[in-house]
C-alpha cells in the first residue's frame, strides 16, 4: 500500500521556529570600537572579527563596556595567563553576547542562510560520485 502523498512545497517549510526568533542580518555597525592599546595581535584580530559578525548588529552602546571587559580577558588568555576561572568567565560572557552557538540559541538569534545554501541548491550527482566513489582493484 503506498504511503501518503508528498506535501505541497509551501507546507514543507520549517514551521518549528520559536516566536521571537531573530534572523541576524549581515550588517555590522558602521563604526566598530577600536581595540585597546597594548592588546596582542591575536586579540585584535578577534576583536575585529566579532565586530564584523552578524551578532554585532544586535549590540547596543551599553554593551560595548562588557565587550571590552571580555576583550581584556581574552587578551590575558591569548598571552597564556588564562586560569580555569578566567576561561569560565570568558565562556559565560561569550554566551551572554551571542558569540557561541549556545549563546545565540538562548538569545533566540539565528544566523542567516549563507549564499548557496544546501537547502536551496541541490548538488549535482557528479559531485557525489567524485566524493564518495572510487575504483577498487
Q: Which residues contact 33 (CB under 8 A, 6 or more apart)?
A: 51, 64, 67, 68
14: its cell numbers: 520549517
pLDDT digits (tens, 9 = 90+) for 29-54: 778 899 999 999 999 999 999 999 99
> Averaged over 102-130, what is the pLDDT?
68
- 133, pLDDT greater than 90: no
Q: What is the pLDDT of residue 36?
A: 96
Q: What is the pLDDT of residues 52-111, one digit of tens each?
A: 999 999 999 999 999 999 999 999 999 999 999 999 999 999 999 999 999 999 999 998
> Is the per-residue pLDDT at 5 higher than 70?
yes
CA-to-CA dists, residue 23 to 4, 8, 28, angstroms: 33, 25, 14
Amino acid at each position: 500500500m503506498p504511503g501518503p502523498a508528498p506535501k505541497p512545497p509551501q507546507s514543507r517549510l520549517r514551521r518549528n521556529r520559536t516566536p521571537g526568533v531573530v534572523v541576524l542580518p549581515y550588517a555590522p555597525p558602521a563604526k566598530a570600537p577600536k581595540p585597546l592599546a597594548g592588546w596582542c595581535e591575536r586579540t585584535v584580530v578577534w576583536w575585529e572579527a566579532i565586530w564584523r559578525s552578524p551578532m554585532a548588529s544586535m549590540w547596543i552602546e551599553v554593551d560595548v563596556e562588557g565587550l571590552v571587559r571580555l576583550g581584556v580577558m581574552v587578551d590575558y588568555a591569548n598571552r597564556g595567563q588564562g586560569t580555569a576561572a578566567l576561561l569560565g568567565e570568558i565562556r559565560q560572557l561569550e554566551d551572554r553576547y551571542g558569540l557561541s552557538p549556545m549563546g545565540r540559541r538562548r538569545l533566540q538569534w539565528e544566523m542567516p542562510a549563507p549564499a548557496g545554501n544546501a537547502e536551496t541548491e541541490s548538488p549535482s550527482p557528479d559531485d557525489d560520485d567524485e566524493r564518495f566513489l572510487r575504483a577498487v582493484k
